[in-house]
Amino acid sequence: MSAYQRGDVSAFAELVARHEKPLWNFLRRSAKDAAAAEDLLQETFMRVVKGASEWRASAKFSTWLYTIARNLSVDHARRMSHRAVVSLDRSARTTRDSEPPRLYDKLADREQGGERSVMNRELADELERALALLPAQQREVFLLREVMGLPFAEIAQAVGASEATVKSRMRYALERLRSELAALHERTASEAVLP
């Protein structure tokens, strides 16, 4: 970022290459709409360009970037709570190939056998459903920690809360996810026993 501030345009391309995919994953799970996530991704990088002079070398770039993305995501969620929108670009039926990347893409090992792959797909689907049930603040902290790999101190800066609050949100998110996944395990076990 320091190089970009000095006028090195190729440094910005490096920042985009380094942060685009994890930022997309975060925004995609926050926005729940691929087109909106793409718009938020573009707007985040536009804000980086516009606010480049405001960034200070004493701050970690990723924290600043995720703070921008989070704020845009929160604003988007507020706007969307007042209206339901269906993308005109979305086909009536979506296929697995046309869906955006999901948490499954991060979890699954492509080299494993068919049965294991199906089990991982089912687990990933349940995890996605369980994540969707989390309150927005808990889901946000979980994604920033587990998908983006940010430390709690940086998450606290990004979301504008104390580190203790962030850790509390993470604890509640994990408890709820454990509960949801345990319920899935119980349903699966009872279905396996039935003839």
**What DSSP string runs through 3-57?**
HHHTT-HHHHHHHHHHHHHHHHHHHHHHHSSHHHHHHHHHHHHHHHHHTGGG--T
pTM over 0.85: no
Per-residue pLDDT of the chain (195 residues; tens, 9 = 90+): 888 888 888 889 999 999 999 888 888 888 777 888 899 999 999 999 998 888 888 888 888 898 899 889 888 888 876 655 444 444 444 444 444 444 444 454 555 566 666 666 777 777 788 888 888 889 889 988 887 788 899 899 888 899 999 999 999 999 988 888 787 777 766 665 555
Q: How far is the C-alpha of 194 from the C-alpha of 102, rounded, in Å?
A: 31
Q: How far is the C-alpha of 107 from the C-alpha of 142, rounded, in Å?
A: 15
Domain ranges of the chain: 1-85, 111-195
Q: How far is the C-alpha of 140 from the C-alpha of 57, rounded, in Å?
A: 26
User: What is the predicted pLDDT for the residue at 188?
Assistant: 66
Closest C-alpha among 76, 63, 67 to residue 35: 76
Question: Does domain 111-195 fall into CATH 3.30.70.980?
Answer: no
Contacts of 2 (CB under 8 A, 6+ apart): 57
DSSP 8-state assignment for residue 101: P
Domain 1-85: which CATH number of 1.10.1740.10, 3.40.640.10, 2.10.10.90, 3.40.50.150: 1.10.1740.10
